[in-house]
Structure 1
Amino acid sequence: MVNTTPKWEDELGRWLKPFLDRLGHKARRRMCPLYISGLIGPGDRKSVQPMAARLAPGDYDQLHHFIADGVWDAAPLESELLVQADRLVGGSDAVLVIDDTAMPKKGDRSVGVAPQYASSLGKTANCQTLVSLTLARGEVPVMVALRLFVPESWTSNPVRLKRAGVPVEHRAARTKPEISLAEIDRVIASGVRFGCVLADAGYGLSAPFRQGLTTRGLVWAVGIPRHQKVYPVEVKLIWPVAGRGRPRKRHIPDVLSTAAEDMLANAKWQNVSWRNGTKGRLEARFAAVRVRTADGPPQRIKDMGQQHLPGDEAWLIGEHRTSGEKKYYLANLPAKTKLRTLAATIKARWICQQAHQQLKEELGLDHFEGRSWQGLHRHALMTMIAYAFLQHRRLAQAGRKKKNQRSTASAEPAGRTPSHRRSHRSTTTSAMPVL
């Protein structure tokens, strides 16, 4: 980052005030801005030692103690982050994106590290995996939660968990969808406003996850594997005819469930464009049909084998990309929703990948060198606060640009087309603000 605005540190201090008010202790209130300044400022490495060397060589011990060992509760700062995120991008047209991000790690002592699939690498690697929640609106994301997924190789080893300082309440095995639902509850309880929950197939394949979203009264659109089973929307439950023996006591569906890709095989596919990209309009072929999900209670049916009974009605959506790749989704958006709206909603999930990349490349999310649960989550929290501050600046700059455009337009001679009307580009770009 090029430092063309020396006053950003002063602005950071003012913006952090509600966070610092929640920290209480004077030393913590001094270390927090120092740590976040180190994350935002120049330097290739954003771990404690190099940041302290750049900013305050005499404060290394205090900075390390603040992030790794200090006795303070992160929950008030996490709550304030949700307040600020809602103020920046919350609203009925915002989305809450559920995903996870992997951080490659050597050795086996750092909390939660294990060989596991890393989507960013496209392979299994020794890494830590953080479940993430991103609030986004108008192509501006703010990361609001990062929680470590603890693999079975850790949850089955109490000694290992204790040595890494994993809190007792987090030592039981939990799936990524279970972690995300707990974090969604925290976001909802804080009053954060959003209109739809988005997730990839790693979460969407989980019926309890989808049912958990529905139970919470949330609108959702999630990826699913191509073999995910669904029923035609007109499926009926009927009494089976018993040729002999005891009368049947349970209803059965009148048709078999089928794979998502087969359900859409004969659907009407259309070219759909959903937004402008860096190389022009983004488009792909989409199709959508109403279905019933096959995630009701399991039941063994004569001549059908094991079948899940029909569940809720939903949209089944298919996407054929220009690369030849095929993707499938389920969404509980209203039955009258147009195909372009379905496509645009699904594709809004891309923004969290941008946020993951920026948190790693620019703010050092994956640079933490400690091994403890507490240190890792505090470092992740500081990177999220730093990221929210940068988005605050980005939106402020965009607001000033719009104001200047309006002023220029009002001063232009009659007959000229104002520059902001000639351009269809958004005033907010995907880049982080320059400091």
Structure 2
Amino acid sequence: MSRAAGKARTAGSEGGPSQQCDGPTRLSVNLVSDHASSAVDWRLFLPESWDDTKNTGDALLTGAIQRRRAKADIPDSERHKEKWRLALDMLDEVRGDWELPGLPVVADAGYGDATGFREGLTERDLAYAVAVKGTTTAYPGDAVPERPPYSGQGRRMLDRVFAAGLRPYYPKTTTPQETNVRVSSG
């Protein structure tokens, strides 16, 4: 019985529950129209746990990974690479080597949440619509991080990002030495 290439516990593409992959994990670029769709390029995705070059500090683990790769006939040239990087490689191949047009790219949150993927699409001058998780933040291009002043109490606040020209109002806090108490008799 042989093992499937790339078999490992993985999260769903949109961060859903983890699942066991039964076969090779394949990524593809598809051309889609109103009438048909077809995969035009694909890559094998290997999880980091299948890359013996990532675990060189443990000879026993490295040996086990090498045996697993040999059983699944994984060539030495195939290594772990992030899915979004593989996707950009495929887009470059489809657009460059095959001279297909730079059509808009649509992707799920597994890719949309990767800043490097979105930046790569922008650098390639490709229009895109990608899903992102609800916790993903986005700021205008002129936004800069700013750390609110520390009041001296509690934990320090993390950097906040604001668009240029917009700053929050931080009220001055009073310290006990500045507090006046008036006592009246009566």
Tell me the TM-score normalized by structure 2.
0.63
- Please point out which of 124, 141, 161 is paired with 2:19: 124
Q: State the Cα distance separating 1:194 from its structure 2 match.
A: 4.1
1:109 partner letter:
R
Match of 1:305 among 154, 158, 165: 158
Which residue number corresponds to residue 147 of structure 1? 43
Residues 202-221 of structure 1: pairs in structure 2 closer than 5 A: 202-221=110-129
Give 1:127 deviation, angstroms. Answer: 2.4
Q: Say whether 1:164 aligns with 2:72.
A: yes
The alignment partner of 1:229 has SS state of coil
Q: Cα deviations across residues 288-318 of structure 1 (Å, max 9, x unaligned)? A: xxxxxxxxxxxxx3555246798xxxxxxxx
| Deviation, structure 1 residue 236 | 4.9
2:66 alignment partner AA: P
Report the Cα distance in structure 2 between the residues aligned to 1:308 and 1:113, rounded to whole angstroms. Answer: 40
Distance in 1 between residues matched to 2:70 and 2:49, nearest whole Å:
14
CA contact (8 A) 1:118 1:125 kept: no
Determine if contact 1:108/1:114 at 8 Å carries over to the other structure: no
Give 3-state SS (helix, strand or coil) of 1:226's partner.
coil
Pick from 134, 149, 154 the counterpart of residue 30 of structure 2: 134
One-letter amino acid of the counterpart of residue 305, structure 1: L
Match of 1:176 in 2: 83
Structure 1 equivalent of residue 93 of structure 2: 186
TM-score of the aligned structures, taking structure 1 as reference length:
0.29
| SS of 2:118 mapped into structure 1 | helix
Q: What CA distance in whole angstroms lies between the structure 2 residues aligned with 1:162 and 1:306?
A: 48
State which of 201, 205, 217 in structure 1 corresponds to 2:109.
Answer: 201
Please provide the CA RMSD for this pair: 3.0
Structure whose residues are more often helix by fraction: 1
Aligned residues: 141
| Percent identical residues | 30
Cα distance change on mapping 1:222 and 1:191 into 2, 3 Å: same
Higher relative contact order (CA closer than 8 Å, sequence separation 6+): 1
Deviation of 1:210 (Å): 0.5
- 1:318-337 to structure 2, matched below 5 A, reads none
Counterpart amino acid of 1:142?
A: S
CA distance, structure 1, for counterparts of residue 121 and residue 26 of structure 2: 20
Tell me the SS of whatever aligns to 1:198.
strand
In structure 2, the gaps of 5 or more residues are 53-64, 150-156, 164-186
